[in-house]
Amino acid sequence: MAITATNIAPNMVRSVNPATGDLIRELQCASDRDIYAAVSNARSAQAKWASLGLRDRIAILHEFQNLLHKRKSAVAEAITRETGKPFAEALTTEVLVVLDSARFLIENAFRLLSDEPVPHGNIAAKLKRGRLLREPYGVIGIIAPWNYPFSIPATESLAALVAGNAVLLKPSEFTSLVALELQSLLHAAGVPAGIFQVVVGDGATGAALVHSQIDKLIFTGSVQTGKRIAAAAAPRLLPVVLELGGKDPMLVLDDADVDVASSGAVWGAFMNAGQTCLSVERCYAHRNLYEKFLQACVAKTRTLRVGNGMDPATDFGPMIHERQLRLVESHVEDAVSRGARLLIGGRRLPELGQNFYQPAVLADVNHEMRIMREETFGPVLPVMPFDTDEEVIALANDSEYGLAASIWTRNKEHGEKMARRIHAGTVMVNDVVSCFGISEAPHGGVKSSGLGRTHGRFGLEEMVKLKYVDSDLMPAMKKVWWYGYGASFALHMQGFIDFQFASNWREQLRGVLASAGVLRSKRL
């Protein structure tokens, strides 16, 4: 059915197919009371979940992986219906990513979460044994976006769950059904109902979750919302992980393979209709190959088949809603008004539906234009020429964002050397976006792109509190650094320090002799 102002119930969110405009389902928003009850239920269940043991939790993840594999097509179809992305992209960028994330945790969680011995280098501490413990936070809240409604919350949830936490997931109001699909799979795999809960709702629901008694929050979304969440979390020092998007640069050096780089640029800019935080949001091509690169990008863009994501022939689906489409239009219009050349696309496709937009390639852009400064989050590839490595590094770093970047060159060593100078959480050489699908690699950025990391070892570390436990092997012996200082003790300590840290052996030997009477100096 078509959505109108008169047939939307209050306190409800709508799941709408962006390709057709049809209403899939309406769902009731969770109230503040619902959120607080869910947190209470999660806290009551979490202790038993943590005591289940790591091996048993890993076994449940394995069962989840098996169930998801069996339902891969059904899950991908659900994703396509709510997001509009091509079915093939739902499989590769969502289902495959989650299956591999489960694989990583199944293979590595026991090693990464087990108690870790801590060696003691200080001679004074040699009669102690220390261990590092990783303990669950308790209840972790996750606020997930609509652009990757399965892979983003699932990878974060699996890490939180295997570490022994309970999870409350608040999905985007545009993609609630995908989140409920994830919940169904986890519960079927053996995750208790109180341990993983989906709370459906809009911004007010997310705010209630932030202000509830959760123990940590993982948020993916805009910089503006991320800053508000950080401010709300500050009074009680609620730990947060914030992934706040990017303006990712693509650097095409003068020795790049134009055919390969242009294919990477077109896919990196337009996959998921450009609605990807790791998307190629700005491209810099060396002047020696600039026009050739532009021609290749335009030719390849012209071949893209735009349509409903359920059609196997579709390369490029609709945008999520008209509001996002209007933002993209405003960026393109601003660029053209300031002298950019629109080489292809940049117009609506109403014959396909209200959310369809023809992917655009812009030439001769510069940093005075919004398209090169603000996150566009849409299917536009803006390309700017450069002359030197120094110039392009300065351009790449001239942004408030720092999520990811890519460098394209036939010289791997040169590319990796330049990568060290780019201000970003990830830099890929001769590829783009796929870093998100590498389960071992951390995902996250610097500057306004956020705080903390998800995925891999460092993402798993975000889901635990560190506790250090130290046991003394000589419990009946008083410690030499306890009270009973005095002049002689200070002399002994000077000698002990010389013994450990003096630069020559004679001074070290004198230090041994000077510290020998330290035990006799104790009064207490």
CATH topology of domain 31-116+128-244+458-467: Aldehyde Dehydrogenase; Chain A, domain 1 (3.40.605)
- Assign 319 to helix, strand or coil: coil
Judge whether 277 counts as a catalytic residue: yes
Q: Which of 112-126, 174-188, 355-369, 471-485 has the lowest mean pLDDT?
A: 471-485
Give the tens place of pLDDT for each residue, 113-132. Answer: 999 999 999 988 999 999 99
Average pLDDT in the chain: 95
CA distances from 251 to 68, 379, 521 (A): 37, 18, 67
The model scores a pTM over 0.85: yes
- Check pLDDT > 50 for residue 140: yes
- Assign 468 to helix, strand or coil: strand
C-alpha 33/C-alpha 242 separation (Å) is 25
Task: Give the mean pLDDT of 86-100.
Answer: 98
> Which residue in 243, 281, 375, 462 is the catalytic one?
243
DSSP per position, 270-283: HGGGG--TTS--EE
The CATH code belonging to domain 249-442 is: 3.40.309.10
Kindly give the interhelix angle for 72-83 and 54-70, rounded to the nearest 10 degrees.
70
Task: Give the mean pLDDT of 241-270.
Answer: 98
> Which residue in 29, 277, 283, 297 is the catalytic one?
277
Task: Give the mean pLDDT of 45-64.
Answer: 98
- Check pLDDT > 90 for residue 2: no
C-alpha 212/C-alpha 215 separation (Å) is 9
Task: Give the mean pLDDT of 84-92.
Answer: 98
Task: Look at residue 7 in the predicted model and tell me its pLDDT.
Answer: 47
Task: Look at residue 520 in the predicted model and tell me its pLDDT.
Answer: 62
Judge whether 435 counts as a catalytic residue: no
**For the chain, domain boundaries:** 31-116+128-244+458-467, 249-442, 478-521
Give the tens place of pLDDT for each residue, 413-456. Answer: 999 999 999 999 999 999 999 999 999 999 999 999 999 999 99
- 45-82 burial: b if 16+ Cβ within 10 Å, else e: bbeebbebebeebbebbbbbbebbeebbeebbbbbbbb
- Check pLDDT > 80 for residue 353: yes
